[in-house]
Amino acid sequence: MTKKDYYELLGVEKGASREEIKKAYKKLAFKYHPDRAADDKKKENEERFKEINEAASVLGDEQKRQQYDQFGTGGQGFEGFSGFDHSGFSGFGDFGDIFDSFFGGGRSNSRRNYPQRGSDLQITIEINLEAAAFGVDKSISVPRHEICTKCDGTGAKSSSHIKTCETCHGSGMYKRTQRTPFGIFQTSAPCDKCNGMGKVITAHCDKCHGNGRVKKTRTIEVTIPKG
């Protein structure tokens, strides 16, 4: 196995801080992303991009970095790189998620809980000619899903029914270690038992049946403009 200098690949000193490594990774990953390359440079960029991510995944993880500093990439005590596929994310804005996986421990259950946009609703309202000509305010009832007030959106019957997954021990990831003639390699995948959440529900909420949300109807006021 050819030994690689991950510090040289990222253009940082051996004693570089995590922030310096993150900054170098972001700059190089954007520069060499295959989707930004011309056709005649795409293959070259793909190889370079893979090396950059390999270096960042090791130097961004404290344990792997210590192993690398001690054994190098050719030593049997080094776990190695589990692989990276640039087609797995849709755009350059996703670099933030990659940073989280490389530099934030890579826990699948640390995903962001950003509010998600709901589906559009189409409601048919009958109005007379006068309302159509001059406009009118109308009250309409619309269905919507809201957080279950009984379980606070957890989907569990009670907090005591939310247990740490025994398979992944709460990490949300299943790790498998393989020993090969080239060294020890470790691969990770979302835990099947808890679907990558790190928690399992032993008894579901009897109001939302484990969904965490319930369907309700709300009355809202809408303004129909004239004309």
What is the Cα–Cα distance from 207 to 211, expressed in whole angstroms?
A: 9
In this prediction, residue 94 carries a pLDDT of: 45
pTM of this prediction?
A: 0.40
Give 111 or 5, the one with higher predicted confidence: 5
Question: Which three-class secondary structure string do you get for the chain?
Answer: CCCCCHHHHHCCCCCCCHHHHHHHHHHHHHHHCHHHCCHHHHHHHHHHHHHHHHHHHHHCCHHHHHHHHHHCCCCCCCCCCCCCCHHHCCCHHHHHHHHHHHHCCCCHHHCCCCCCCCCCCCCCCCCCHHHHHHCEEEEEEEEEEEECCCCCCCCECCHHHEEECCCCCCCCEEEEEEEECCEEEEEEEECCCCCCCCEEECCECCCCCCCCEEEEEEEEEEEECCC
In this prediction, residue 205 carries a pLDDT of: 94
Give 227 or 180, the one with higher predicted confidence: 227
Q: How much is the mean pLDDT over the chain?
A: 77
What domains can be seen in the chain, in order of their start residue? 6-106 (1.10.287.110), 136-227 (2.10.230.10)
User: Most confidently modeled of 84-88, 102-106, 148-152, 191-195?
Assistant: 148-152
Q: Which amino acid is at 220?
A: I
CA dihedral sign of residues 93, 99, 104, 106: positive
Residue 212, pLDDT above cutoff 60 = yes
pLDDT one-digit tens code per residue, 21-56: 888 988 888 888 877 778 888 888 888 888 888 888
Residue 83, pLDDT above cutoff 50 = no
Residues 123-127: what's their mean pLDDT? 83
Residues 61-83: what's their mean pLDDT? 66
Percent of the chain with pLDDT over 90: 14
In this prediction, residue 125 carries a pLDDT of: 83
Tell me if 79 sits within 8 A of 67, measured CB to CB.
Answer: yes
